[in-house]
A and B are shown apart, each in its own frame.
Chain A
Amino acid sequence: MNIHHRFIYTVQILLLLLSGCSTTLVVDTPEITPPTQTKSGIRLNGIVTDTSYAVSHNLVHIALVDESNQIGVPGVVSIPPEAPILLQEQGVFSPFKIENIVIGQKVTVIASEVLEGVPFSTVATEVLLRDTGPKDSLTPLSTWIKPHFEGVIKDITTGNNAGFSVLNLTIDGVSIQDNAKIQFQFISITEKSMIWIKSKDGYLLEKPGYLVPGQSVSILLFQAYDSQFPGTFNPVLEIIVNSE
């Protein structure tokens, strides 16, 4: 190898190193991808309600927002490794990690089919997160659909259902659907219930210990209140504390 060739070889090595650095920089920067509206299939719009199994099993629980029927439909979404997870901000899509998904984030799940049990379940072909998930953008379901009832917490007791610890609430309230004023019993806060408080910028999530008698609340149940079978376990999907 003469000096000329050695010079060319050195320049090539430098170029390779520079191109390697350049590639690394591109990876570190959020990759901008074209909109994926071409993905066909069922589009499920809702919010994330549980991320307990997101990292361990690639699962998130969501509540599908069905505004025409004013219901939040519980579902389980499996996100296989090959399904892209994208954050959609102002028309721009960038990759998003499953471990960064948080409760309350707005989500669109695209899937080829939906198993129609309750909760529904599906395997996503693509997941679009429609907000970044900082505290001020978290969104209770009840901002789109009506809660089942509103009222005042009269009593709180601890209990157990199917091996899970729960808080049982008694609520003096009004049913939003039929405007009936009744006392709701057997309302249960589980570890999966979302407890929201209003902040100056939006909503924040709280722990069950935040709840005390006397608070004014809006409640969306996992299912409609079961008046057919007295004593039925009625888990809360979402409770918004409106005032002390």
Chain B
Amino acid sequence: MQPAPEEPFSNFRFDPSRPFEEVLALSSTGEVLYTSKDLEDKLEANRNADGIVEIQSLIPNSLLIQTNPEPLEVIGLDERFAIGNENIEFPFSAIVNLRFSWLDTGSPVWCTGWLVRRSSVITAAHCLYDAVAHPTEPTSGKVTAYPGLNSLSDNPSPYGSWTEFDRWVPYEWIYNGQPSIWDYGVVRLIGTIGDRTGLFGFREFNQINGFLELAGYPFDKDSSGQQLWSGYGGVTNLEPRLVYYSNDTYGGESGSPVWENGYPTCQFCCIAVHSRATGDGISSNGPRVTSYFLYQLLYEREEFRLYQEFLPLIRK
């Protein structure tokens, strides 16, 4: 990705016959991607009687499904639990350790992600592009993905490693000062490992009745970032584009999936992407799966994408 140009819209080739509202994404090479009727129809087909869109998780028949233990009472400082051999069972098989280097330091680092398509991993945008913390080299180095990685398991790396093909982060993340509501992105892999690991679903929501589950690779539990941990929490606040929750989190868990444990009609459907800890001492937050984000996720799921880098654009 290139540093922000002074006139970000000047290089794009818009179709004058189509309204601006139909623009879905902008490519780094000046191409404009428009919404399609197929995509609109797909979105509508997944809207339930309450008007909520639910995109189901996809789980191969051969894959065991992890039956969640009884939710813990969320009180105290640390309610996380280690994942053991369940790293080969869904949903933990679809949680991905993303390893890379920042080009200004060269040090190996990591984030967490989750497979949403057979070659697409959702993570936090700040793991892919961060001009605040890395102003001289804001784009992180090429990512290597390890689905289900867990050194606490008898099978620590059950799906091997997969290298990055390309990535996108929201246009607004780069050009609008990296606001938290746009802190999500996609890493596309060379290969289709999602066929074996299963895929997370995603859904809109108006309220959460159960516990939120969040799983990733926290630095404090293993400072080599190879242990998969999960934990429960509750919603502490909702904003139109952000979810706040009480799950215990730590560095290394940026990009982790957040889903409602045991939600009946859309199990393992993510409602947020974990991004940051907040200063109130009790909450973490992440961008909420809603509106435009949902559209982009569906776009990834349905493989309408072209093989080039596209940056999604918000419709005002």
**A interface residue numbers (CB < 8 A to B):** 40-42, 53, 57, 59, 66, 69, 71, 73-76, 78, 111-121, 123, 161-164, 190, 192, 222-226, 228, 232-233, 235
Contacts and interface: CB of A to CB of B under 8 A. Distances in A.
A42 B132 CA distance: 19
B278 interface: yes
Given A71-B223, A117-B124, A233 B105 contact: no
Nearest to B277: A114
Specify which of B105, B157, B222, B284 lies most central, judged by the most chain A CB atoms within 10 Å of its CB.
B105
A184 to B, nearest CB: 13
Nearest to A72: B223
Contacts of B106: 161-164, 190, 235
Interface residues of B, number: 47
A116 B275 contact: yes
Contacts of B110: 117-118
B107 A66 contact: no
B250 interface: yes
Given A117-B126, A117-B254, A164-B106, A226 B224 contact: yes
Given A73-B251, A116-B249, A162 B224 contact: no
Interface in B93-110: 101, 103, 105-110
Nearest to B104: A53
Nearest to B253: A116
Q: Which 10 A-B pairs have the closest CB atoms?
A: A41-B279, A121-B133, A224-B224, A162-B106, A76-B133, A224-B223, A120-B251, A117-B254, A164-B106, A112-B279
B33 interface: no
A228 B226 contact: yes
B83 to A, nearest CB: 15
Given A59-B135, A121-B133, 4 more contacts: A112-B279, A121-B132, A190-B107, A224-B222
B213 interface: no
Contacts of A161: 106
Given A42-B277, A115-B126, A115-B275, A225 B135 contact: no
Main secondary structure of the interface of B (DSSP, over half): loop
Contacts of A192: 105, 107
A235 B135 contact: no
Given A53-B135, A59-B135, A78-B133, A117 B278 contact: no
B109 A121 contact: no
A160 to B, nearest CB: 10
B88 interface: no
Nearest to B283: A113
| Residue of A66, A75, A162, A232 most packed against chain B (CB within 10 A) | A162
A43 B185 CA distance: 28
A72 B254 CA distance: 18
B52 to A, nearest CB: 28
Nearest to A162: B106
A42 B282 CA distance: 10
B276 A116 contact: yes
A116 B278 contact: no
Contacts of B219: 71, 73, 118, 223
Contacts of B124: 115, 117
Interface in B74-116: 101, 103, 105-111
A163 B104 CA distance: 10
A113 B276 contact: yes
A126 to B, nearest CB: 12
Contacts of A120: 251
Nearest to B105: A192
Given A162-B101, A223-B223, A235-B108, A118 B133 contact: no
Contacts of B108: 222-223, 232-233, 235
A164 B184 CA distance: 30
Contacts of A66: 220
A113 B224 contact: no
Contacts of B281: 42
